[in-house]
Amino acid sequence: MCGIYASYSKNAAKKVLLGLKRIEYRGYDSWGIASLKSGNISVRKQIGKLSNLKDIVFEQVDLSLGHTRWATHGGVTKINAHPHLAKNKSFALVQNGVVENYQDLKEKLISAGYEFVSETDTEIIVGLLEQEMEKKAEKTLNPEIFAKVFQNLSGRNTIAVITNDGRLMAIRHGSPLLVGKNSRRDYCFSSDILSMSDDMEEYIIVDSGEMVSFNCATKEFVVTNIETKMVIVKKFAPIDHRAEVSEKNEFGSYMLKEIHEQATVLPRVVSGLEKNFLLATKMLKDADQIFTLACGSASFATGNTAYLLRKAGYKASAIEAYEADSYLNLFNKYSVCIVYSQSGETADTNEIVELMKKKGAKIISVVNMPGSTLTQMSDLSFMLRVGPELAVASTKAFFGQVLWGTTIYDILTGLKFNDIEIKINEFEHKLKEWFSNNEIQKKIENLAKDLTKHEHLFVLGRGDLYYASLESALKLKEISYIHAEGFSGGELKHGVIALITKNTPVLCLVAEDKNKANMLNAISEVRARGGRTIVIAKQDNDLYSDWIQLPDTRDYIFLSSIIPSQLMTCYMAMVKGYDVDKPRNLAKSVTVK
Ligand code: M6R
């Protein structure tokens, strides 16, 4: 949530604007850029998406600091947008995180006479810094004051400032921060590595509790530990990850493109990784208890992995990170936890990983963002390599996570890695065929048009397809803003059936397995109440009001069933005229709790 990008270089403001565009997935309520020229800081802010911006020209400056916001405290207004300028205009500050003790700090500042102009928790930090500067009779903000004030904030926060005497400083606690540099001694501070301007050559990851400070006058760059005040020598590493230039092409949206890409990225999830997969399965075999951990869509993928592990005979429990409390006493050095996170920066997830590590549990993570915090914390980490996912709603990363879990299951149940690769190639081929079947694609589009008339939709799945039903419902909520609930086909008669009336649409995911008979029962119960059953299955049946034909594959029923529902959701949102890549109120990387 929220993106930070700062630059010291020729034409810094332009570089910041470009950097912010690349991290806009972190929040797109509003944006702002502060620039330093001849000792004066000017701030430009705007509400709305940066990507909608046309013809904006910035003055030539050497130092700029920018921010894209995902509102937590205070509405989406220009005043609440970052950067926030100090009253004496000596610095401008941006924040990624939440000041958890903000009420207490705000009251104290108000009683000390500080006048707030915004509703943000960020302005509290500005007020505290100004107060401390006054106490110390300092006209400009120095690293000592910056670090001292930061220590009064609770919560996961990363903050950055530019000062009117030409300093760029940032402190990280939780929310990610990286520093890039090149041989001209240009610098950039950014929330992720892929956003760094193309002329950056090397980078470091700033760790929690570290302050980075760059002085434009002396060109001195220093990293310090804010508690011990010791200077830390960090070695810059070459940047080997670049943002893949990604165009929407004929798809018109990243989401639709990324759904289609699922047919081609499959082999990348496993290729060349036999050794690591075998290591992971050894860790799982040696564990007393296995946990899976994630949030949102990723938690449906981990839920499915835990389900498969139990089927393979392992004690596995799926934990949603924000509901981990009751499990805390179960973690120990014999536990192994599988963690999925597209971003590797999800605060709810990473906080539990930190706790697990303290108790000695081993962490296996599956992430799609290079250099992420979660990767750094893991005993064994896998990069999904499905390519950057630019649409906020997860599709191909989720797909990769499910494939990763299925691969682990296949190995644990005796399949050779080579045979798994063959199976994946076959699946890839069948999926491509399915995508190029115009009749099926048109049918999904037409169904989507029809379903936009409804306000509520239910999704039923069971067994192998239970978590696919939960994920389908989440996608419908996120993108097409339709109230959708996913649940097990078995649950229907225990309550939800009360909501089924004439024409209520019920999306049903049916596998050719032992659950089929029970799913058919549920489907006939829906039909008996006049409901409309839209069924994603391999074979048609008289009970289905509408049938969406699945690819003719032996395996990967979860993966093939999720695609038609993703497509349907995407088309529904497009019909309604929504921005499918940047749905309202969401952000791709949820770095606040
Ligand atoms: O970056 P992560 O995979 O850890 O994110 C977890 C969830 O926030 C994420 O899956 C979210 O539910 C998406 N909006 C799904 O489309």
Q: Name the residue with the closest Cα to ligand 1, atom 7.
A: 296
Q: What atom of ligand 1 comes closest to residue 369's alpha carbon? A: 1
Q: Name the residue with the closest Cα to ligand 1, atom 16.
A: 393
Q: Name the residue with the closest Cα to ligand 1, atom 10.
A: 297
Which range of residues forms the domain containing residue 53? 3-238
Contact between 396 and 219 under an 8 Å Cβ cutoff? The reply is: no
- Assign residue 252 a region (left: φ > 0; alpha: ψ between -120 and 50; beta: otherwise): left
Rounded to whole angstroms, how far apart are CA atoms 546 and 562?
17
Q: Which three-class secondary structure state does DSSP give residue 320? A: strand
β-strand partners of 382: 366
β-strand partners of 189: 6, 179
Ligand 1 near 394 CB (within 6 A): yes
Does one domain contain both 191 and 299? no
Does one domain contain both 218 and 156? yes
- Size of the chain in residues: 593
- Predicted pLDDT of residue 246: 63
- Predicted pLDDT of residue 242: 66
- Predicted pLDDT of residue 193: 86
Does one domain contain both 65 and 103? yes
Ligand 1 near 341 CB (within 6 A): yes
Does one domain contain both 301 and 226? no
User: How far away, in angstroms, is 104 Cα from ligand 1 center?
Assistant: 31
Contacts (Cβ under 8 Å, ≥6 apart) of 592? 1, 72, 97, 98, 156, 175, 347
Rounded to whole angstroms, how far apart are CA atoms 564 and 560?
8
Total structural domains within the chain: 3
Tens digits of pLDDT across the chain (593 residues): 799 999 999 999 999 999 999 988 888 899 999 999 999 999 999 999 887 777 788 889 999 999 999 888 999 999 999 999 999 999 999 999 999 999 999 999 999 999 999 999 999 999 999 999 999 999 999 999 999 999 999 998 999 999 999 999 999 998 899 999 999 999 999 998 888 888 999 999 999 999 999 999 999 999 999 999 999 999 999 987 666 656 677 888 999 999 999 999 999 999 999 999 999 999 999 999 999 999 999 999 999 999 999 999 999 999 999 999 999 999 999 999 999 999 999 999 999 999 999 999 999 999 998 888 999 999 999 999 998 898 999 999 999 999 999 999 999 999 999 999 999 999 999 999 999 999 999 999 999 999 999 999 999 999 999 999 999 999 999 999 999 999 999 999 999 999 999 999 999 999 999 999 999 999 999 999 999 999 999 999 999 999 999 988 878 999 999 999 999 999 999 999 999 999 999 988 888 77
Does one domain contain both 208 and 74? yes
Q: What atom of ligand 1 comes closest to residue 294's alpha carbon? A: 4
Does one domain contain both 229 and 358? no
Q: What atom of ligand 1 comes closest to residue 589's alpha carbon? A: 1
Rounded to whole angstroms, how far apart are CA atoms 395 and 384?
13
Rounded to whole angstroms, how far apart are CA atoms 388 and 85?
34
- Predicted pLDDT of residue 182: 96
Contact between 475 and 392 under an 8 Å Cβ cutoff? The reply is: no
Residue 51 gets which letter from DSSP? G
Of 220, 238, 256, the position where a domain reaches its end is 238
Does one domain contain both 464 and 401? no
User: How far away, in angstroms, is 43 Cα from ligand 1 center?
Assistant: 32
Rounded to whole angstroms, how far apart are CA atoms 589 and 593?
11
Rounded to whole angstroms, how far apart are CA atoms 279 and 545?
47
Ligand 1 near 476 CB (within 6 A): no
Exposure b/e, 276-296, CB count within 10 A at least 16 = b: ebeebbebbeebebbbbbbbb
User: How far away, in angstroms, is 409 Cα from ligand 1 center?
Assistant: 23
Ligand 1 near 586 CB (within 6 A): yes
Q: What is the CATH number of the domain that holds 562?
A: 3.40.50.10490
Does one domain contain both 97 and 224? yes
Does one domain contain both 421 and 444? no
Quick one: how many helices (H) and strands (E) in the chain? 15, 24
Q: Known catalytic residues?
A: 2, 588
Does one domain contain both 450 and 431? no
Residue 77 gets which letter from DSSP? -
pTM of the model: 0.91
Ligand 1 near 346 CB (within 6 A): yes
Of 407, 436, 465, the position where a domain reaches its end is 436
Of 417, 436, 455, the position where a domain reaches its end is 436
Does one domain contain both 275 and 422? yes
- Predicted pLDDT of residue 593: 78
Q: What is the CATH number of the domain that holds 83?
A: 3.60.20.10
Q: What is the largest CA-CA distance in the chain?
A: 82
- Predicted pLDDT of residue 588: 86
Q: Name the residue with the closest Cα to ligand 1, atom 11.
A: 296
- Predicted pLDDT of residue 243: 62
Does one domain contain both 206 and 276? no
Ligand 1 near 349 CB (within 6 A): yes
